[in-house]
Structure 1
Amino acid sequence: MAGQPDASDPLTLTRWWRAAPDAAEQVRADVDAWAQRVTDSGLLEAFGGTVAAGEPLLDFLERFAAAHWDFRAGRERNLATVPDLTPAQLEAIADAVGPLGLDGTPPPSLDNYDTVIMTGGMVRAGIVKPRHVRELVDAGVSFDEVTFLGAFRPFAGDEVDLASELGVEGDDEFDAMVAGLEKSFGPFPHGEVSEYSDDSPFASWRDVRWKLDGMDVRAVAAPSSEPERRRAHTGDTFRFWAERIPSSIRNVLVVTTPVYVPYQAAVAVEVLGLEYGITVETVAVSDSANDLGPLTQRFLPHHQLQELRSAIRGMRSLASALDDCNIPTITRVVRYE
């Protein structure tokens, strides 16, 4: 099942952070190479833009993407507006998604990981991500811990009806995560629950653990670092999990939806790799796991542009964190070699 990383591809080291003394320097170069792919993709020209002279490339790309590709405007993804794209723009998007890593990944590079983390998301993610992890387990990839990591985000828009059609009982992201785990790994015995409840759901958290066939299975709803303003984002969830694990956890596989890989891989490297010294690899769910028949999520060009904007933001944040490191002697990383 394991696939060998291709170190010649600038997407590889960004997705596959090894705790090594030269890792930060290598990944920093790969972030720059990925940003150059964005500029070479034809997307800027299709939207009437050219690179601003004298401005750092990632700074320019984030500013450009915010102006042209932010269809959410703070809303949940399924409530975003649908832009009217020209044929030239549609062609540029179709040509760019592969080189920019928005359409899937090779399989995991190892046969064993201490932990697999599935990142939370919309209601379908609650079902398809555990299905993919189940596929990996059945194919011989082993994990000491299977963790679904998200937040108490209420369903919005069409998620309410989708939850009912998918057999999810409940009204938020955490409920979908638990339902998906049970469908792929259950039935579960009585779980061990740790939790904190607050008047604000964005400050509340819950960690439910089950023992199953020698594995620890967990569903974790993390709190926001700014609960008065927003729900937990990906970085919040990673940090909450990392603060509550034993030091013996050294390598992690992150599983997410294909279109989210560049963004969530960048956050995983920044938080789990740089801040906690953990080897981390990010892979996309398979087409077979994603297949929900007529309920399957179809990622259209405007979705891909929206998530390219997220990827640019994630890569820019990662680049800044890498620049702040004492390259090549990152003691927090070297301690795991």
Structure 2
Amino acid sequence: MKIPLPSSADVGQIEAWVTSRPLRDLVRAFGGAWPTGSLAKILSDLDVFSQGVWDFRAGQERHLARVKDFDPNMTNLIMASCRALGLVDEEAPKNQTYTHFLVLGGLIRACIQRPEYAARLSTQVTTGDVTALGSFRPLTDVERSLATRLGLGEPVTEFDAMDAGMRLAFGLGEPVEVTEHVHRYTSETGPASYTVVAAPSSVPGRRANTADTYRYWAENYSPTGDLLLVTSTAYVPLQHCDALRILGLEYGCGIDTVGLAPTALPFTPANYLQEVRSAIRSMRALHAVLTS
């Protein structure tokens, strides 16, 4: 049984996900005692616990995370729990019409696959525009080599890769607007407007994270209505709750998030555990805003 993600500014929905049986099972399987006290304390304790046992990144990019293998029984428990928590399976959009699609950036494959997924979704549901959100993160040598093999030219940053991925997925021509942070396109078929945005980081020396991209886009475009976020399944809880906190609470937007299941490079159980930790931290931030 899938545990629903929060859909609105409702502390009870956060509590239902955080205190659910699948998350309890994961904590106990890794030797943790379930926290007691208020929801704020439980979230704080889970943040600390997950850092000790599920943080394989240690501050590095996701593709540099430490490799960790598990025996078959533990692997089955991890995957069953993560599936129930909403990190594994694709789900269809809840609505038939959205004001905006937001396609979230990532490593080079995500910059190709997520725009392709958004293009498929745009034939099933209606939207006024599609925006791809990325950053100026420099691509690694491996990413740049893969981009060349995939026919994306020679992108240097995630912004370049997202721009190439959007043009390929939606068959876009030359941009009608080009600035340092924005490339905008129009089309006579499908959504009327397509925009690729590179957000600056809110912390000097660190690349822009998901929250940075949401806030930069919102501050420059003043979004309204219902948003469909397009990402990968493992990041749905994290990026959905960040969107609720920023785009939902601050701008009054409705938030729906869908994810594309891993294809060429399947997630490992350790990768999923890392994103359970990310989801806990995102829910903690959302809860803090709701109760402040």
Report deviation, 1:10.
Answer: 4.9
Q: CA deviation at 1:160?
A: 3.2
Change beyond 3 A, Cα 1:136–1:39:
closer
Distance 1:9 1:89, change over 3 A: closer
2: CA distance between counterparts of 1:92 and 1:58? 22
Q: Distance in 2 between matches of 1:10 and 1:71?
A: 25
Q: Is the 8 A contact 2:22 2:84 kept in 1?
A: no
Query: How many angstroms apart in 2 are the aligned matches of 1:323 and 1:157?
Result: 44
SS of residue paired to 1:42: helix
Does structure 1 residue 218 correspond to structure 2 residue 186? no
Counterpart of 1:144, as a letter, is G
Q: Which residue of 2 aligns with 1:279?
A: 254
> Which secondary structure state, in structure 2, belongs to the residue aligned with residue 313 of structure 1?
helix
Structure 1 counterpart of 2:243 = 268
In structure 1, distance between residues paired with 2:25 and 2:142: 33
Between the aligned partners of 1:40 and 1:243, the Cα distance in structure 2 is 35
Work out whether residues 46 and 88 of structure 1, in 8 Å CA contact, stay in contact via their aligned partners in 2.
no
1: distance between equivalents of 2:166 and 2:237?
24
Residues 189 and 94 of structure 1: CA distance in aligned 2, closer, same or farther (over 3 Å) = same
Q: How does 1:191-270 map to 2 (within 5 A)?
A: 191-195=176-180, 206-213=181-188, 215-226=192-203, 228-246=204-222, 249-270=224-245
**In structure 1, C-alpha distance between the alignment counterparts of 2:127 and 2:164, rounded to whole Å:** 20
CA deviation vs aligned residue, 1:91-115 (integer Å, no higher than 9, x gap): 2202201111101342112222111
Specify the alignment match of 1:328 in structure 2. none
Is 2:121 the partner of 1:153?
no
Letter in 2 for 1:215: A
> 1:62-104 CA distances to partner (integer Å, 9 max, x unpaired)?
1111111111111111111102424443222022011111013
Give, as a single letter, the amino acid of the residue that structure 2 aligns with 1:220: V
Distance 1:148 1:116 in 2: 8
Runs of 4 or more above 4 Å deviation: 38-41
Percentage of pairs with the same residue: 39
| SS at structure 1 position matched to 2:220 | coil
| Letter aligned with residue 242 of structure 1 | A
Match of 2:279 among 311, 320, 323: 311
Q: Which amino acid aligns with 1:182?
A: R
CA deviation map 1:182-241 (0-9, x unaligned): 11112313330222xxxxxxxxxx111111125110000000111x23111111110100
How far the C-alpha of 1:9 sits from its partner, in A, is: 6.8
User: 1:17-52 CA deviation, whole Å, 9 max, x = no partner?
Assistant: 4xxxxxx2xx31111111112665421122111124
Instruction: State TM-score, norm by structure 2.
Output: 0.91
For the structure 1 residues 38 and 302, does the alpha-carbon distance in structure 2 shift closer, same or farther, using more than 3 Å as the test?
farther
| Contact 2:200/2:208, CA 8 A, preserved across alignment | yes
Contact 1:104 1:283 in 2 (8 A): no
Report the equivalent of 1:123.
Answer: 108
**In the alignment, residue 272 of structure 1 is paired with which amino acid?**
L
How far apart are the structure 2 equivalents of 1:154 and 1:40? 35
Q: Where does the alignment leave 5 or more consecutive residues of structure 2 unmatched? A: none
| Gap change, CA 1:87 and 1:240, over 3 Å in 2 | same
Alpha-carbon shift at residue 53 of structure 1 (Å)? 3.9
> Offset at 1:244?
1.3
Query: Please, what is the CA RMSD of the aligned residues?
Result: 2.0
Please state whether the residue corresponding to 2:221 is helix, strand or coil. coil
* Alpha-carbon contact 1:10-1:30 (below 8 Å) kept: no
Which of 59, 80, 91 does residue 65 from structure 2 map onto?
80
SS in 1 for 2:248: helix
Distance of 2:222 and 2:69 partners within structure 1: 49
Aligned-partner SS, 2:122: helix
**Structure 1 residues 297 and 84 mapped into 2: Cα distance closer, same or farther (>3 Å)?**
closer
Give 1:246 deviation, angstroms.
4.5
Q: Secondary structure at the match of 1:244?
A: helix
> Which secondary structure does the structure 1 equivalent of 2:137 belong to?
coil
The structural deviation recorded for 1:280 is 1.4
CA 1:142/1:86 → structure 2, altered by over 3 Å: closer, same or farther?
A: same
Asked if residue 190 in structure 1 is aligned to residue 183 in structure 2, the reply is: no
